[in-house]
Amino acid sequence: MILGISSSGRKNGITSSTVKEILKASNLEYDYISLAGKKINGCIGCLQCASDNVCKLQDDWNEIGEKMLKADAIVFGAPIYSGTINALGHACLERTFCFRHREVFKLAGKLAVSVSTDYAQSVENPVHSIIESVMSKNLVPIVGKVSAKGFSQCYTCGYGENCAVGNVVKDHGFIEKIEHCHYPPSYEQQANTKFEARKVGKILGTIISNK
Ligand SMILES: Cc1cc2nc3c(=O)[nH]c(=O)nc-3n(C[C@H](O)[C@H](O)[C@H](O)COP(=O)(O)O)c2cc1C
């Protein structure tokens, strides 16, 4: 079983579509979780997990952690918020601390794929490296990465046409009215993202099914 996680605050955003595309392309049984609306605390460093590798904080993460343990691979997708991985995504990854104590690495032997979504497509986007760094602490290698072009909230906030600090004016100048043709590309319009997602999903599926 492959577990897909989208950590975006938007249930049906671009991260979610990209993760789902990878899951489907794997041709394997999968489970999918959106972190939208979930309550996930960051690790509090209580170390109550040191003796048994079980996190004692009780919130929406515990069930996700159980699913991670059951999966052969984890497809983890996160958007960039304020120049870094979004807080929900980081909290979810942080809590895997419980899985590695006393030379026990409960996620070791699994594989992972990293998905990052950002509007600016900045070369300084750290999301892939944060996902990879946490996975590597868990001894989980990343076998593929997919980068998607994100949405910009400035197109639907209601003030985009006139906001001199927003992305609409930055990309199109002061326009009369925001039309659909001004929007950043939807997931469906991103042929290259879809192609990369299918490729990575297919490779992941082949690796897992030949294990
Ligand atoms: C609070 C917030 C902060 C954001 N900060 C950035 C940013 O620093 N750089 C960027 O390129 N996009 C930024 N974005 C845009 C998101 O990365 C983009 O909307 C992405 O599509 C979100 O993923 P989703 O489509 O799966 O919801 C931000 C969005 C939000 C809501």
Q: Report the chain (211 residues): mean pLDDT per 10 consecutive residues.
A: 98 98 98 98 98 98 98 98 97 98 98 97 92 98 98 97 97 96 97 98 98 91
> Which pLDDT does position 122 carry in this prediction?
86
Same domain, 63 and 105: yes
Same domain, 70 and 143: yes
Q: Is this prediction's pTM over 0.85?
A: yes
Q: How far is the CA of 119 from the centre of ligand 1 (A)?
A: 6
Atom of ligand 1 nearest to the CA of 82: 8
> Which pLDDT does position 123 carry in this prediction?
84
Q: How far is the CA of 74 from the centre of ligand 1 (A)?
A: 22
| From 151, 157, 165, 168, mutation site for ligand 1 pocket: most ligand atoms within 8 A of C-beta | 151
Same domain, 61 and 140: yes
Same domain, 26 and 129: yes
Compute the distance between CA of residue 134 and CA of residue 157 in angstroms, rounded to an integer. Answer: 34
Looking at the structure of the chain, the number of domains it has is 2
* Strand partners for 121: none
Distances (CA, A) of 120 to 79, 107, 158, 189: 11, 33, 20, 17
| From 12, 19, 32, 81, mutation site for ligand 1 pocket: most ligand atoms within 8 A of C-beta | 81
Compute the distance between CA of residue 75 and CA of residue 144 in angstroms, rounded to an integer. Answer: 9
> Which pLDDT does position 89 carry in this prediction?
98
Same domain, 159 and 196: no
The pair of structure tokens assigned to 34 is: 């959106």
> Which pLDDT does position 177 carry in this prediction?
96
Which structural domain, as residue segments, surrounds residue 101?
2-151+186-209
Q: Which residues of 42-60 are buried (b: 16+ CB within 10 A; e: fewer)?
A: bbeeeeebeeebebebeee
Same domain, 93 and 31: yes
Same domain, 167 and 84: no
Same domain, 39 and 125: yes
> Which pLDDT does position 6 carry in this prediction?
99
| From 5, 118, 123, mutation site for ligand 1 pocket: most ligand atoms within 8 A of C-beta | 118
Q: How far is CA 186 from the centre of its chain?
A: 17
Same domain, 162 and 203: no
CATH of the domain at 109: 3.40.50.360
Question: At CB < 8 A and 24+ separation, what contacts does 120-123 make?
Answer: 120/80, 121/147, 121/149, 122/80
Compute the distance between CA of residue 146 and CA of residue 61 in angstroms, rounded to an integer. Answer: 24
